[in-house]
Structure 1
Amino acid sequence: MIAVRDKTEQILAAAAAAFIKKGFQATTQEIAKEADVAEITLFRKFSTKQNLFITVMKKVLETQFDAKLMKLAEEENTEVFLKEVINNRLDVLSENAPMVRMLISESLMGNLTEELQLPEIIFNSIKKALDHHFQRKEIPVDTELCARQLGGIFLSYIILPNDRPYHNLKTEEKNALLERYTKSVLSML
């Protein structure tokens, strides 16, 4: 049984690398070669390239993009909460920039299912955390507008050119950036 799980993980890792590099255009032959399996093994396990793509991307998105926000929403201090959310999202997006760019590109070309629309995933996870934070504090806030502003910050940081990726900035550079972004969001609350 362990060998099956290992083989599946091997396929998922190879598929993730291929899809991040080439998007949905990566071929099953390339993935099978990288995973060191027969191409038929991919189809036995996932039936279609689309299913493999969805499985890989959902796994990556679940582990990288949604795991921490609800825990951060428990923070009592709104300014600290926003700084932590902004820092966490910029770190995750920056560290996964090739995958993020690929998902945005595939989304714009109409190659993704609704469940893999990265901008919507980012928006919905932020809004959910904002709703939770402000409901706990019993403060009426337009969380949709706030989530849109935060989503714009996050996506623009990936799409627009930067001198260095966020995750490579020095602590003081990150803190200065976090301070500016947080003040911007707080000003609209």
Structure 2
Amino acid sequence: MKGLRDKTDQILKAAVTVFVKKGLQATTQEIAKEADVAEVTLYRKFATKQNLFITVIKHVLENQFNSHVMKLANEGNTEYFFKSIIENRLEVLSKNTPLVKMLISESLMGNLTEEIDLPNIIFTSLKHGLDHHFDEEDVNTELCARQLGGIFLSHIVLPNQHPFHTLDRMEKDKLVEKYAKSLKVLI
């Protein structure tokens, strides 16, 4: 069974590499070549390129973008809650910039289903976490979620000399502090 799992992991890693470079335009031949497997192996395991893409993206989203927003939403201190979300999401997104850019591009072209539409996933998870955190308060959580989403996406889309994950601890803390203060104005 381990050999089967290894082969699947090999295909998933190769597919991420190829999809990041080419998006949904990637061919199964390119993926098979990158994975060093026969193209028929891809079809046997995933049936279609679309199934492979969805499997790959779900795998990455579960492993790399699994949000801790709901856990953090239980935090009573709103400033700590904001800082924790901002730092966590910027770190994960920054480390995965090529993949995130590809997902944003595919999303803007309308090529992603709701279950793998990263901008929608980010917004929805933020909105749910904010709704939970501000349960009894009159706070426009949609506006807060949009503000947070804008912060995160700006770090991916706009030119950035120093990606977040490469900053030192003090630089990260300063940036997170500024963003958290900008959010407090909304509540």
| Residues 38-94 of structure 1: per-residue CA shift (max 9 Å, x gap) | 101101111110110011001111222234222222222110010000000111110
2-side partners of 1:62 and 1:152: how far apart? 22
Residues 66 and 125, structure 1, Cα contact 8 Å, conserved in 2? no
Contact 1:101 1:159 (8 Å CA) reproduced? yes
**Is it true that 1:142 corresponds to 2:160 in the alignment?**
no
Distance (Å, rounded) in 2 between the aligned partners of 1:63 and 1:141 = 31
Gaps of 5+ in 1: none
In structure 2, what is the Cα distance between the partners aligned to 1:29 and 1:21?
Answer: 14
Alpha-carbon distance in 1 for matches of 2:43, 2:58: 18
Cα deviation for residue 24 of structure 1 reads 1.2
Report the equivalent of 2:182: 184
Show the counterpart of 2:104. Answer: 104
Structural RMSD (CA): 1.2
CA separation in 1, counterparts of 2:3 and 2:168? 42
Report deviation, 1:176.
1.2
User: After the TM superposition, which residues 34-45 of structure 1 pair with which residues of structure 2 at under 5 Å, given as runs?
Assistant: 34-45=34-45
1:148-167 aligned at under 5 Å gives the runs 148-167=146-165
Q: Which runs of 4+ in 1 moved over 6 A?
A: none
Alignment of 1:51-70 (within 5 A): 51-70=51-70
Q: TM-score, normalised by structure 2?
A: 0.95
Query: After alignment, is 110-119 or 3-12 more displaced?
Result: 110-119
TM-score by length of 1: 0.94
| Letter of the 1:131 counterpart | D
Aligned partner letter, 1:141: V
Structure-2 separation of matches of 1:85 and 1:35:
35
Corresponding residue number in structure 1 for 2:78 = 78
Contact 1:146–1:185 under 8 Å retained in 2: yes
